[in-house]
Amino acid sequence: MNDTNFGSIFRKRLVFLVITIFFAIIVMQQFSMQVIDQPTYSEKADENSVKPIYQTAPRGVFFDRNDEVLVGNKPSFTLRITPADYDKNLTPYLEAIIGVEKGYINKILKQNENYSKYIPRRIAKDVDFRVIAWYEENASKLKGVDYVIETQRDYSFGITGSHMFGYTKEISSLLLQRRKNEYMMGDEIGFSGIEKTYEDILRGEKGIKYVLVDSHQKTIGRYKNGDEDKNAIKGYDLILTIDKDAQQVAEEAFKDKRGALVALEPSTGEVIAFVSAPEYNLADFASVTSNEIWTKLNIDEDKPMFNRATMSIYSPGSTFKMVSALAALEEGIIDSSYRVHCGGGFQFGDRFFKCLHVHGTVDLKTAIEKSCNTYFYQLALKIGLDRWSSYGAKLGFGHKTGLDISEESPGILPTRKYYDKAFGLNRWPKGILVSLGIGQGELSVTPIQLAQYAALFANYGQSAKTHFLKGYVETLTGKYTEVQPRYYDIGVSKESFDVVREAMYRVVNRAGTAGNIRLPDIAIAGKTGTAQNPHGEDHAVFIGFAPYDNPKIAIAVIVENAGFGSVNAAPIARDVIKAYLQKDKPKEKSANLAAKSLGGEKSAD
């Protein structure tokens, strides 16, 4: 055999060997894939063909203290886009049909472009049924577009309550990064008020439904007959301390007014009524809030988004005179018989501080009853700044009440440190204290603080931290859990309180400044005030409690730019007190509360 034939045979055998090895490798790989690794590839195939669809859980319903629905839920249609399937040529038609400005859809898609393109983006919530009808007629042409039925807040139960209820909002990308294990893109989260404070028990648990999809992500059936699906679980229902009747009367009284009202149950700190006026329409926040609405609310000179009940600070005026009275009695500086002559004012240094009337010689009770400034000008000087500010702090001023919504101001309670910082060490004028004695000067308080203050007089210095939540109902078990308030006692004697409380009784029930609100069957005790306002007309102020012998409600009312408290604030307080006390309603929780919560969910029909 010559060398040429040998080389030819060798090359043929080499090629055959290579081909044999190649086919052997292929056979081994096929065997590995189809037999050895079959479970792994099967699982991956399932992952590619199974699509999870998440179902939003209805939020918990709000009930008042008598099991009346305040805020519920209702079904609504939400239009969505899945970017992986979406034909962008549809955008102009979609924007036109849902009634949004040009570029709206692209903006939503761009904001969420860092997330999976297979996750649907909500582009319109609470859409009209005509949009859904249009979709059904054109579904075959609307690639990547679908809709789901979700729930949204229902505010049709006769209460506005915007500043206490608050609203939900789509979670921001920044917050989503911090809470990605709890929320998904497009989820709603409590943004303000009670919705924000109790978000964790209100939001419930998402449901999940698994469907089979083809290579184009089109649904072709259910996965495992739905055996692995999980139903959404509604959030816990909240039983609030609010009384619906009292709240409705308070809201009606503040129509076309600016100001605030807070009513509390004195012994527990429970909020009975809560108004900041003007309010805003929570229904505007139940779906997508338009830029037009946001702009209108933010440029409104009346600032409807601002919570006046907890954030606005006002001069308390004459309602603060009881701080001086209580401090002087408790410290033994005076007794109830201590008298001062009022000739229409008080001369201090080179300045004359006026009184509204010439009251003659008055004792402490009469000075409160008649609201004599002259008496309290002089009493404040006898007390001194340190003791005055100390008792102001005991009675709840200069710090937050701890109300269970996040927006609250501590107000301003001037102290020696405050004035030393403003004027220099011990260089502040002593005339400052004269103004503070009648609730003027640098002193500023919030309406919620004034309501707490009234509650402390009603309950002899004992109360509890102010709060909206009375209890909650667990969704699956129907179990009701009542929240236990945090009680406290400011440590002032009953004897001192008795003197001031009797004077407050005389304000309404004798010839005092609020005699116009006297009721034949409910003994109200209170104090009027006219708070100075450097920016316009004075504010009208009233604080009080009732019934006098067994207080069930304490209240504070401020009406901005309304003048005298006796004329413009006290009558509102009287009407709310009547609404709360003059009725016969059960106070115990309904045994059927879990079932009743469904009444807060409006059905589609």
CATH of the domain at 224: 3.90.1310.10
pLDDT at 592: 47
How far is 272 from 243, CA to CA, in rounded Å? 5
| pLDDT of 580 | 97
Strand, coil or helix: what is 10? Answer: helix
Average pLDDT over residues 147-166: 92
Percent of residues in the chain assigned helix, strand, coil, to nearest 5: 40, 20, 40
Distance, CA of 303 to chain centre: 17
How far apart, in whole angstroms, are the C-alpha atoms of residue 543 and residue 455?
Answer: 9
Pairing state between β 270-277 and 340-342:
unpaired
pLDDT at 584: 53
Residue 249 near residue 576, CB atoms below 8 Å: yes
Torsion sign across C-alpha atoms 456, 459, 465, 469: negative
Whether residue 76 has pLDDT greater than 60:
yes
Q: Does residue 60 fall inside a structural domain?
A: yes
In 3D space, the residue among 343, 363, 365, 362 whose CA is nearest the CA of residue 354 turns out to be 343
Q: What's the pLDDT score for residue 291?
A: 66
Q: Any bridge partners for residue 277, and if so which? A: 259
Q: Quote the tokens at residue 545.
A: 């409690």
User: Is it the case that residue 455 has pLDDT exceeding 80?
Assistant: yes
Q: What's the CA gap between 136 and 97, in Å, rounded?
A: 13
Contact (CB, 8 A) for 474 and 482: no
Return phi, psi of residue 30, to 5°.
-65, -45
Rounded (10°) angle between helices 570-581 and 244-253: 160
| Residue 290 banded pLDDT, cuts 50, 70, 90 | low
| pLDDT range class, residue 86, cuts 50, 70, 90 | confident
Whose CA is closest to 310, among 93, 488, 468?
468
Residue numbers of the domain that contains 213 = 52-240
- The answer to whether position 231 is within a domain reads yes
Q: CA dihedral defined by 196, 197, 202, 205, rounded to 10 degrees?
A: 80
d(CA 396, CA 375): 24
In a domain, residue 484? The reply is: no
pLDDT grade for 3, boundaries at 50, 70 and 90? low
Residue 455: alpha-carbon gap to chain centroid: 22
Whether residue 43 has pLDDT greater than 70: no
Residue 140: pLDDT over 70: yes
Instruction: Write down the pLDDT at residue 116.
Output: 74
Q: What is the dihedral of CA 568, 569, 573, 579, to 10 degrees?
A: 40
pLDDT more than 90, % of the chain? 57
Q: In the structure, what pLDDT confidence band is assigned to residue 464 with cuts at 50, 70 and 90?
A: very high
388: left (phi over 0), alpha (psi -120 to 50) or beta: alpha
**Cα 273 from Cα 135, distance rounded (Å):** 45
In a domain, 450, yes or no: no
Please say whether the beta carbons of 405 and 262 come within 8 A: no
Q: Does a structural domain hold residue 70? A: yes
Least confident range of 25-34, 420-429, 458-467: 25-34
* Mean pLDDT in residue range 345-352: 93
Angle between the N-to-C axes of helices 373-383 and 385-394, in degrees from 0 to 180, rounded to the nearest 10: 100
Q: Which of 20-34, 116-130, 478-492 has the highest mean pLDDT?
A: 478-492
Mean pLDDT of 57-65: 96
- Whether the predicted pLDDT of 415 surpasses 90: yes
* Range among 177-186, 210-219, 370-379 rated most confident: 370-379
Among 39-48, 87-96, 144-153, 277-286, the range scoring the smallest mean pLDDT is: 39-48
**Residue 599, pLDDT above cutoff 60:** no
> What's the pLDDT at 589?
47
Is residue 304 a part of any domain in this protein? Answer: no
Query: Looking at residue 61, what DSSP letter applies?
Result: P
The reported pLDDT for the residue numbered 220 is 74
Mean pLDDT throughout 428-435? 91
Binned at pLDDT 50, 70 and 90, residue 300 comes out as confident
The CA distance from 180 to 591, in Å, is 38
Which amino acid is located at 360 in the chain?
A: G
Tell me the three state secondary structure of residue 461.
coil
Contact 396, 456 (CB under 8 A): yes
CA 574 to chain centre: 26
Domain annotation covers residue 510: no
Range name among 235-239, 483-487, 530-534 with the lowest pLDDT average:
530-534
Measured over the CA atoms of residue 255, residue 260, residue 265 and residue 269, the dihedral's sign is: positive
- pLDDT value, residue 164: 97
Per-chain mean pLDDT for the chain: 87
Look at residues 216, 203, 181 and name the one whose alpha carbon lies nearest to residue 48.
216
Assigned token pair, 245: 């009747």
* Other residues' Cβ atoms within 10 Å of the Cβ of residue 406: 12
CB contact at 8 A, 508 and 529:
no
What confidence category does residue 297 fall into, taking pLDDT thresholds of 50, 70 and 90? confident
Amino acid 44: pLDDT: 47
Band (225; pLDDT cuts 50, 70, 90): confident
Question: Which of the four pLDDT bands, split at 50, 70 and 90, describes residue 587?
Answer: very low
DSSP H helical ranges for 32-111: 38-49, 91-98, 104-111
For 407-433, the DSSP string reads -----B---HHHHHHHH-TT-S-THHH
Provide mean pLDDT across the span 114-131. Answer: 82
Q: Residue 131 is encoded by which pair of tokens? A: 């949009």
SS3 75: strand
Residue 165 lies in a domain: yes
Query: What is the SS3 assignment for 276-335?
Result: EECCCCHHHHCCCCCHHHHHHHHHCCCCCCCCCCCCCCECCHHHHHHHHHHHHHHCCCCC
Residue 562 has pLDDT above 50, yes or no: yes
How confident is the model at residue 523, as a pLDDT? 97
Residues belonging to the chain: 605
Which of 32-46, 125-139, 544-558 is the least confident region? 32-46
* pLDDT higher than threshold 80 for residue 389: yes
Least confident of 113-117, 183-187, 490-494, 551-555: 113-117
Q: What is the mean pLDDT of residues 584-592?
A: 47
What's the number of domains the chain is made of? 1
Q: What is the mean pLDDT of residues 364-379?
A: 97
Query: Looking at 66-70, 116-120, 523-527, which range is the least confident one?
Result: 116-120
DSSP code per residue over 208-222: EEEEEE-TT--EEEE
pTM of the model: 0.85
* Token pair belonging to 250: 């308070």
